[in-house]
Amino acid sequence: MKPQPRVYIYNRKAKFNYFLMESYVAGIVLKGNEIKSIRNGGTNMDDSYCTFENGELFIKNLHISPYKNASAYQEYDPKRDRKLLLTKRELRKLKQGVDIKGNTIIPYNLFTNENGLVKLEIYLAKGKHTYDKSQAIKERDLDREMKNF
């Protein structure tokens, strides 16, 4: 079997809007042709977030475009909620972390592993204030100027 090319899709706003604390790698439940669409790069993670429902973790607003060669007779919702697969221990730790005020779970990286399975790297994160964001912009500008000299 020929190895599939690896796919990496990042949430670019994550590091700017949040302090990333703990990392977890979760499996994701997909339907039909969603895997083919992900391999073609038809995914957008900008407005996506994770929530708990009945003790299970779901990702919301992850946009996976419909596969262009899929059947036209199927109804498809590109922003449907998708279940994330984690161990009970990881779910318990994440639930305890989210219960702390200001913490949230954000998706950071969607990728395929060496077996061709789609995985999602999620972080327990704390939101940044506007002054933290402006400080990050200043540091980035200073680093850019230092490289130019």
The alpha carbon dihedral of 40, 41, 44, 50 has a sign of positive
Residue 11 CB coordination number (10 Å): 24
Q: Which two tokens stand for residue 51?
A: 């929530």
| pLDDT recorded at residue 3 | 59
| pLDDT recorded at residue 72 | 65
- Each residue's pLDDT expressed in tens, for the chain with a length of 149 residues: 555 667 788 888 888 888 899 999 999 999 878 888 888 888 888 888 899 999 899 999 998 888 877 666 667 788 889 999 999 999 999 999 999 898 999 999 998 888 888 999 999 999 888 888 888 889 888 888 888 87
Give the residue from 82, 97, 128 showing the smallest Cα distance to 24.
97
State the Cα–Cα distance between residues 52 and 136, nearest whole angstrom.
30
The predicted model scores a pTM of: 0.81
| pLDDT recorded at residue 71 | 65
State the Cα–Cα distance between residues 112 and 3, nearest whole angstrom.
11
Cα-based angle 143, 21, 132 (whole degrees, multiple of 5)? 45
Give the residue from 61, 13, 5, 12 showing the smallest Cα distance to 38.
5
Task: Collapse the DSSP code of 51 into the 3-class scheme (helix H, G, I; strand E, B; otherwise coil) and give the result.
Answer: strand
Structural domains of the chain ordered from first start:
8-148 (2.40.280.10)
